Homo-oligomer: A and B are copies of this chain.
Amino acid sequence: MFFSRNSKYTLEDLKKTIRSFTHVSDSDMEFGLKFFKKETFKKGTFLLKPNHYIHDFYFVKQGCISYYTIEEGTTRVMEFFTEGYFFTDLYAFIEQTPSETYLEATEDSIVYSISKTDQQKVYDHSHQLERFGRLSMQRTFVINFQRINQLRNLSNQERYLQLLEKRPTLLQRVPQYLIASYLGITPVGLSKIRKRLSEKK
């Protein structure tokens, strides 16, 4: 109900991203890519809502998918998936449990998707692509690990500045109160930080 499907697109960017991790032969690549479907999501539509199962693994071709929970009325943004990101609600995807999260297109978005079953077929068929799977997990691990250390070691202001530096367009693309949530602070807190910074300059 959420989306419309249509396939047969170039997938060049996806192919390129996969090969940035490890060598994959043309035949294995072809085998893998044929399972991907192109999907488009209008701004404000959902790829996933709580209490639903998630069957697909995604790659962002264009747009922005916000990954968040709502607990006691408070939105908590865990990630903004933009161009080139692989994503899913990994916990629910792995365990095949009902999700507790939202995946919302906060911009008009185009993604490629592959079902868990098909992904398993791909990994069974291709050692090279299983390796890609391992390495992309490893990459994500490193990124998350750096994020953990940032959260523990940097002040909110420092984290805001790092975000500005690393993902400069995000603040133009996403409302500020969601950025605040992503940083783990209140909108008021972020506003204060911005004021403090603008006064310093």
Contact = CB atoms under 8 A, between A and B. Distances in A.
Interface of A: 71, 76, 78, 90-91, 94, 123, 127, 130-131, 133-134, 137-138, 140-142, 144-145, 147-149, 151-153, 183-184
Contacts of A138: 90, 94, 137
B149 A148 contact: no
Contacts of A94: 138, 142
A141 B144 contact: yes
25 contacts: A76-B152, A76-B153, A78-B145, A78-B148, A90-B145, A91-B145, A123-B131, A123-B134, A127-B127, A127-B130, A133-B134, A134-B134, A134-B137, A137-B137, A137-B138, A137-B141, A140-B141, A141-B144, A144-B144, A144-B145, A147-B148, A148-B148, A151-B184, A152-B184, A153-B184
A106 to B, nearest CB: 19
A149 B91 contact: no
Q: Is the interface of A mostly helix, strand, loop or mixed?
A: helix
A151 B134 CA distance: 26
Contact of A151 (B91, B130, B133, B152): B152
Which are the 6 A-B pairs with shortest beta-carbon distances? A152-B184, A137-B137, A134-B134, A151-B151, A144-B144, A127-B127
